[in-house]
Amino acid sequence: MRNQLAGTGTLLRLALRRDRVMMPVWITVVALLVLSLPASLESVYGTGAERARLLGTMNTNGSLRALYGPVFGDSIGALTAWRGGVFAGVLAGIMSLVIVVRHTREEEETGRQELLSAAMVGRRAPLTAALLAALTANGLAALLVTAGLTGRGAGGAMALGLGIGATGMLFAALAAIAAQLTESARLAKGLAGAAIGAAFVLRAAGDAGSAGGSSALTWVSPLGWLENVRAFAAERWWVFALFAAAVAVQVAAAYALAGRRDIGMSFLPARPGPAEGRLAGPGALAWRLQRGSLIGWSLAFLAAGVVFGGMTDGAAQLVGDNERTREIIERMGGQSGIADAFLATMAGMLGMIAALFIVSAVLRLSGEESGQRAEPLLANAVGRLRWAGGHLAVAFGGSALILLLAGLGLGIGHGQGVAAAVGATLAQLPAVWMIGAFAALLYGAAPRYAVAAWAVAGGALTLGWIGPALNLPQAVLNLSPFAHLPKLPGAEALAWAPLLVLTALAAALLAAGLAALRRRDLAA
Amino acid sequence: MTKAISVAGLHKAFGRTHALDGLDLSVDAGEVHGFLGPNGSGKSTTIRVLLGLLRADSGTAELLGGDPWADAVALHRRVAYVPGDVTLWRNLSGGEVIDLYGRLRGGLDRARRAELIERFELDPTKKGRTYSKGNRQKVALVAAFSSDAELLILDEPTSGLDPLMEGVFQGCVAEARAAGRSVLLSSHILSEVETLCDRVSIIRKGRTVETGTLADLRHLTRTSISAELAGPPNGIAQLPGVHDVEVRGLKIRLQADTDKLDAVLRSLADSGVRSLTSTPPTLEELFLRHYADDVHGNGNGADGGVKAGVSR
């Protein structure tokens, strides 16, 4: 056993050294997201009476519970946990899956692990080191959240901090399993990411169905466990036993799987491919490389649309006697008709998530270049524009496709207004394209910093999701392209101007990015 | 004669590193040209400039009579490239990649493709991720040799091949030359360069230090001679251009500057020759002379450097 773990400490140091920038940034973002909430919540819901009314409103409105979960108490701490807990848990989950896959499957895929494992490194050391790196990150995030909120009640602060950290570790353990199952790091991240998405949808559907946040669906989702820790509202510490058990079971499964396979291999045997190829050009190649991911996103968006569409009618039950609540709902989405507002909010959320798809699809270019697969391709009679065009077509066309499917799903789930729902999701497209075009510009002009496109998409998501509750000045909210979109369905006169301006801006950014790509040196 | 590649005074800097520092290279149409230099001397950078992947800072580069940057796409129809480190898409089969490259170059010879797959013993149905380094190189080699490109640019193409496949590769290059194609072959396998190349260029620190036929280059260096004489050697050590003389009874071993051989042979004949072996300088010796300059700190040492490498 000792031998199996030889070198774990060194590998952990290597992991922390490699992540010395990424990890602190993630931890800070997760912690700041939560810690920035109390002050702004205080400014919106200053008095206890206002908060009590919010509580009543939220718990009778299924659609808002779907978005943010139920509220369990009327203290500022409880509202902070309600508004930021799940979001921070999702972020901690993404951070954890990136860390774990990066130090396990990605190392094997690139062949670096072979070199490391030839040294005094035990068979279980790489996975252990990756999990310990995730534990370090989640532990620090939990510590920061706890320390920052202690003033609102030490027990609640600790429950929320631990809950966020435990959620992160749960998805870290899940990513450890995914990393054993697939040979490609990209697919492992995709699987773990899909699990987080499913957990979110399950929680949303479960919360929409019951006022207490304790329906069966909620309890299937680890994010449901997180909200049911009920930080700052008579904490239920026993929920952590669920987290601990789930982490232990998954980690044991990951070790068992890791012990049964060879380095670099997976459980899915490689099947032979065709001896003769039919790929006709760079466009066909780009489609072939990205179609798996696009199909996954399409199914996920269609399913999410159907689920959210089905929840829409819960919105009609709103008992809205609080001016501020009404104001917030309007700021979050619609201008008239709460059902429309709900659909508009969902369309907006799916749009912001589609921005993640377009960034990943555009950055395939960067991956192909730094993976040195672009170089021999471009040594053929293929211009850079034609090569980039294939991937960009998948990115821009694919984002239109998934939003179309999401709109169809919303309409079908709601049982009416399919055209309006499709219009609402497609109206997100200019903002999504704008972010995609920005990613293309970064890639073309400053390829080393292309990953910053993720920060842009993440920033837009954070501004749109948490921003309205924070009472941020409109100038800040307007930084996100999504802030300029008309709220559909429901707007009386469709404002074409912002859609056209955003599309034109996206086209300009894209053109600038392509021009820069043509002029610059290709990475060796 | 027309030039397949002509490069003059090429400069390229990455930040503070000067990868190319006035490099010259000229490849005649129809010749196989060896491109030699230590690691990091700028071979791959030159090739990337020639492929229009990098833009040179200054100097001129011409590929098949065109500008490698501006006319990249049109030129690439006539060029096939094999990188030293072939990376494939993990979920595409080798056959798919060969055909993709073929189509992107405007078609390939099906019969030739089948024949090459046979000769290189490549399984085209395997997926990219399951190929070894040598097999990945075979995929790129089959794609390149089954095209009808006028110019083959091969950047250390055989570093992962076994000796048997190395032989197949040499056969393919010889056929390409016979078909009138030009080849730029960057390689560290000196026997390969010696067998295949009409002319070689040796570069160092981004600059060309020698260029010419092997015969030209040999002329600049030393031949080793060992002989068994009838009588004692007579003053041979004092002759100009004679080095490392070792006498053991009537047996003598020495190194002679190749252009001073006449006098050496005359002196040996004076003592009476019973047996004589003379070994022409290998490319390795030529090569080491330029590589070893780094150790001796002098840019153009005609002496000095050789001994360390040669007398083993």
Chain A CA closest to residue B93: A273
Omega before A489 cis (within 30°)?
Answer: yes
Residue B88 has pLDDT above 50, yes or no: yes
Q: Do B125 and A274 touch (CB under 8 A)?
A: yes
Q: What pLDDT score was predicted for residue A213?
A: 56
Q: A381 vs chain B: nearest CA distance in angstroms?
A: 5
Average pLDDT of span B80-84? 92
Listed range (A25-39, A56-70, A121-135, B34-48) with the worst mean pLDDT: A56-70
Q: What pLDDT score was predicted for residue A253?
A: 96
Average pLDDT of span B204-214? 89
Q: What pLDDT score was predicted for residue B4?
A: 93
Q: What pLDDT score was predicted for residue B67?
A: 94
- Within an 8 Å CB–CB cutoff, is residue B287 touching chain A? no
> Which residue in A271, A378, A381 is closest to B53 by CB distance?
A378
> Which residue in B77, B89, B127 is closest to A373 by CB distance?
B89
pLDDT band at A321 (very low <50, low <70, confident <90, very high): very low
> Which residue in B51, B91, B129 is closest to A379 by CB distance?
B51
Q: Do A376 and B101 touch (CB under 8 A)?
A: yes
Q: What pLDDT score was predicted for residue B62?
A: 93
Residue A266 has pLDDT above 80, yes or no: no
Q: What is the ipTM of this complex?
A: 0.78
Average pLDDT of span B226-237? 86
Residue A512 has pLDDT above 80, yes or no: yes
Q: Do A375 and B93 touch (CB under 8 A)?
A: no
pLDDT band at B285 (very low <50, low <70, confident <90, very high): confident
Determine if residue B205 is left, alpha or beta; phi over 0 gives left, psi from -120 to 50 gives alpha, anything else beta. left
pLDDT in tens, B40-58: 889 999 999 999 999 999 9
Q: How far apart are the C-alpha atoms of B221 and B44, rounded to whole Å?
A: 27
Listed range (A65-69, A190-194, A353-357, B233-237) with the worst mean pLDDT: A65-69
Cβ-Cβ contacts under 8 Å, A377 against chain B: 101, 104
Q: B260 vs chain A: nearest CA distance in angstroms?
A: 46
* Residue B121: how many other CB atoms lie within 10 Å: 12
Residue A202 has pLDDT above 90, yes or no: no
Sheet-wide strand order for B207-213: B79-82, B151-155, B182-186, B32-36, B199-204, B207-213
pLDDT band at A58 (very low <50, low <70, confident <90, very high): confident
Q: What pLDDT score was predicted for residue B309?
A: 33
Q: What pLDDT score was predicted for residue A336?
A: 45
CB A88 within 8 A of CB A465: no
> Which residue in B53, B91, B95 is closest to A277 by CB distance?
B95
Cite the DSSP H helix spans in B207-260.
Answer: 214-219
- What are the angstrom distances between the C-alpha of A519 and each of A372, A509, A515, B52? 18, 16, 7, 10
CB A346 within 8 A of CB A332: no
CB A185 within 8 A of CB A106: yes
Specify which of A73-77, A125-129, A203-207, B236-240 reaches the highest per-range mean pLDDT: A125-129
Q: Do B125 and A184 touch (CB under 8 A)?
A: no
- Within an 8 Å CB–CB cutoff, is residue B90 touching chain A? yes
**Residue A495 or residue A385, greater confidence:** A385
Closest CA to A83 of A48, A33, A132, A130: A33
pLDDT band at A500 (very low <50, low <70, confident <90, very high): very high
> What's the predicted TM-score (pTM) here?
0.83
Chain B CA closest to residue A269: B130
CB A30 within 8 A of CB A141: yes
Residue at A392: amino acid letter: L
Residue with tokens 């139920």: A70
